[in-house]
């Protein structure tokens, strides 16, 4: 009987014993319905191991935070899945984001050489030395977007032949992607405060553009990665151009669900104080609790880059947000003609902007969401617990 009980106990502890002998991550935070694809009956809890080769899947309103022995941490958001291809304490980690969003923080190697990690999607690969960043991938439109919070990351477009190699061998995949990331003509370097995208139809990632400051601050403050310690951010937004060589305007918002960049459209006004453009009209808002984009009431964003009516809600205004936002899905290279503006509305908007008396419920919204937050000292009007953010220009 004792032998039988010992055998049962050994079988129950087998996954933990195996994880202790192979590279693994440790669950440090979990919420909602999170599963391991290879262990569908396992109910994950804080402190559990996730081994190399396993796939994490989160449901709606669920999330998980995992730490690794090499002083790195990843956070997987709702409706996301990621496969831990290769985990090494001293080598390069390889992570495959299958869908959704992942935020990660990696410490630099002591000698400052070599990649600490490679995060790949079906269309892109990121090289990480020591930084914090956010990556979103939408398998519907095959667009990968990346935002850098600290340091910088290298972003390249993934090739079909590389995906074929990765499907056969994790070590060969790491090697070929590492070599590709060293080629400067293929990679875009994304500095802190910048955002770049990879489209399946384009050869190279888009030129980095400065993300909306209010969204950037909200994402940093609400980051589960940052909740363990106070953080001071020094981000030189002004070093990034107000308009890139591709014609993309700064100050846009990233939609984490569709992986699209909502760029201020025609008629947008450049705020010289922030070096960012402000969209005219009702364009939605940014959640100060999560940093996510919230479309205007009565509208929703589809993965192809267009606003459409939300049948579940009546719009506050009849204005179509497509009048004020320009979105590239990679096919038009940001040159898609915009719908004609509402007749005579331009002069009305301009007059109201000069008077600075627009409200969120009026047809005019002269400031980007959260712009008052930026222009009045960053966090003057809001109390953000467990995080300190300071934005200053780097000389």
Establish if 36 belongs to a structural domain.
yes
Q: Judge if 247 and 189 occupy the same domain.
A: no
As beta bridge partners, residue 271 has 276
Which of the four pLDDT bands, split at 50, 70 and 90, describes residue 383?
very low
Of 21 and 303, more confident: 303
Domain assignment present for residue 385? The answer is: yes
Residue 96 structure tokens: 């495959």
The mean pLDDT of 291-314, rounded to a whole number, is 86
Kindly state whether residues 153 and 276 are assigned to the same domain. Answer: no
Q: Which of 217-226, 231-240, 245-254, 329-338 has the highest mean pLDDT?
A: 245-254
Whether residue 108 is predicted with pLDDT greater than 50 in this model: the reply is yes
Instruction: Supply the pLDDT for residue 111.
Output: 66
Residue 164 sits at φ, ψ, to 5 deg, of -65, -40
Q: Which of 146, 148, 108 is nearest to 129 (CA)?
A: 108
Is residue 382 over pLDDT 50?
A: no
Strands 63-68 and 143-150: unpaired
Considering the domain boundaries, does residue 171 fall inside one? yes
| Residue 269 in this model has a pLDDT that exceeds 80 | yes
pLDDT reported for residue 336: 43
Q: What pLDDT does residue 10 have? A: 52
Lowest mean pLDDT among 37-46, 284-293, 327-336: 327-336
Same-domain check for residues 138 and 243: no
Residue 107 included in any domain: yes
127 and 48, same structural domain? yes
Q: Is residue 223 a part of any domain in this protein? A: no
**Nearest CA among 352, 342, 173, 343 for reference residue 269:** 352
Q: How confident is the model at residue 318 (pLDDT cuts 50, 70, 90)?
A: low
286 in Cβ contact with 292 (< 8 Å): yes
Q: What is the number of residues in the chain? A: 395
Q: Is the pLDDT of residue 351 over 90?
A: no
Each residue's pLDDT tens digit, 227-252: 554 444 567 777 788 999 888 999 99
- In the chain, the number of structural domains is 2
163, 122 contact by CB (below 8 A): yes
| Best CA proximity match to 366, nearest among 298, 293, 277, 301 | 277
- Same domain? For 264 and 315 the reply is yes
DSSP state of 187: -
Point out the least confidently predicted range of 33-47, 173-187, 286-300, 359-373.
Answer: 359-373
Q: Is residue 200 part of a domain?
A: yes
Nearest to 202 by CA among 24, 308, 332, 72: 332
pLDDT band at 371 (very low <50, low <70, confident <90, very high): very low
φ and ψ at residue 262, rounded to 5 degrees: -90, 100
Report yes or no on 212 lying in a domain.
Answer: no
CATH value at residue 100: 2.60.120.1440
CA-based nearest residue to 125, from 57, 58, 76, 179: 179
Of the residues 166, 190, 206, the one at which a domain ends: 206
Q: What is the pLDDT of residue 13?
A: 52
How far apart, in whole angstroms, are the C-alpha atoms of residue 383 and residue 287? 14
131 pLDDT band, cuts 50/70/90, is: confident
Residues 367 and 272 placed together within one structural domain of the fold: yes
Report, as an integer, the average pLDDT of 319-336: 73
Helix, strand, coil share of the chain (percent; to 5) = 20, 30, 50
Angle, nearest 10°, between helix axes 170-181 and 160-168? Answer: 150
What is the b/e burial string over 145-168, where b = at least 16 CB atoms within 10 angstroms of the residue's CB?
Answer: bbbbbbbbbbbbbbeeebbebbee
- Beta bridge partner(s), residue 82: 56, 97
Q: Are 183 and 245 found together in one domain?
A: no
Q: Are residues 187 and 245 in the same domain?
A: no
Same domain for 202 and 248? no
Q: Determine the Cα–Cα distance for residues 291 and 286; give it in Å rounded to an integer.
A: 6
pLDDT score at 209:
94
φ, ψ of residue 58 in degrees (nearest 5): -110, 145
- Taking the CB of residue 323, how many other CB atoms lie within 10 A of it? 21
Cross-sheet strand order for the sheet of 253-255: 253-255, 260-264, 325-326
Q: CB 91: neighbour CB atoms within 10 A?
A: 17
Range name among 190-194, 215-219, 321-325, 382-386 with the lowest pLDDT average:
382-386
Confidence of residue 338 (pLDDT cuts 50, 70, 90): very low
pLDDT tens track for 146-183? 999 988 999 999 999 999 999 899 889 999 999 999 88
- Boundaries of domain holding 281: 237-331+343-395
97 & 161 share domain: yes
Residue ranges of alpha helices (H) inside the chain are 2-21, 160-168, 170-181, 213-221, 345-355, 371-375
Confidence bin at 110 (pLDDT 50/70/90): low
3-class DSSP assignment, residue 116 = coil
pLDDT category at 355 given cuts 50, 70, 90 is very low
User: Can you give the pLDDT at residue 266?
Assistant: 80
> Which secondary-structure segment (H or E) carries 196?
strand 194-198
- Are 190 and 250 in the same domain? no
pLDDT at 290: 85
Q: Are residue 189 and residue 71 in the same domain, yes or no?
A: yes
- Contact (Cβ atoms closer than 8 angstroms) between residue 118 and residue 127: yes
Q: Is 213 contained in some domain?
A: no
């Amino acid at each position: 009987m004792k032998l039988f009980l010992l055998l049962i106990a050994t079988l129950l502890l087998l996954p933990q014993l195996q994880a202790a002998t192979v590279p693994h991550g440790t669950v440090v935070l979990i919420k909602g319905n999170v599963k391991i694809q290879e262990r569908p009956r396992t109910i994950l809890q804080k402190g559990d191991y996730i081994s190399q080769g396993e796939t994490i899947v989160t449901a709606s309103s669920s999330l998980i935070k995992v730490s690794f022995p090499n002083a790195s941490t990843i956070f997987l958001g709702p409706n996301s899945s990621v496969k831990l291809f290769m985990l090494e304490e001293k080598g390069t980690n390889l992570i495959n984001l299958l869908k959704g969003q992942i935020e990660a923080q990696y410490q630099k190697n002591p000698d400052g050489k070599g990649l600490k990690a490679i995060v790949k999607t079906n269309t892109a690969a990121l090289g990480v030395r020591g930084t914090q960043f956010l990556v979103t991938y939408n398998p519907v439109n095959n667009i990968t977007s990346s935002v850098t919070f600290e340091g910088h990351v290298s972003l390249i477009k993934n090739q079909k032949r590389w995906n074929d190699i990765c499907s056969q061998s994790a070590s060969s995949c790491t090697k070929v992607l590492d070599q590709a990331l060293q080629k400067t003509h293929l990679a875009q370097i994304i500095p802190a405060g910048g955002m770049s995208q990879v489209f399946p139809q384009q050869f190279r990632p888009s030129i980095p553009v400065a993300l909306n400051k209010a969204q950037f601050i909200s994402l940093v403050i609400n980051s589960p990665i940052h909740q363990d310690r106070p953080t001071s951010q020094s981000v030189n937004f002004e070093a990034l151009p107000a308009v890139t060589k591709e014609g993309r305007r700064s100050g846009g918002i990233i939609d984490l669900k569709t992986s699209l960049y909502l760029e201020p459209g025609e008629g947008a006004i450049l705020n010289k104080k922030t070096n960012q453009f402000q969209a005219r009209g009702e364009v939605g808002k940014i959640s100060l609790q999560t940093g996510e984009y919230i479309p205007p009431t009565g509208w929703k964003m589809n993965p192809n880059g267009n606003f459409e009516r939300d049948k579940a809600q009546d719009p506050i205004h009849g204005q179509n947000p497509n009048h004020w936002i320009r979105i590239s899905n990679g096919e038009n290279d940001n040159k898609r003609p915009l719908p004609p503006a509402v007749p005579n509305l331009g002069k009305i908007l301009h007059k109201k902007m000069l008077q600075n008396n627009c409200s969120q419920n009026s047809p005019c919204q002269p400031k980007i969401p959260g712009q008052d937050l930026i222009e009045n000292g960053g966090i003057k009007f809001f109390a953000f617990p467990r995080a300190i953010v300071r934005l200053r220009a780097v000389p």
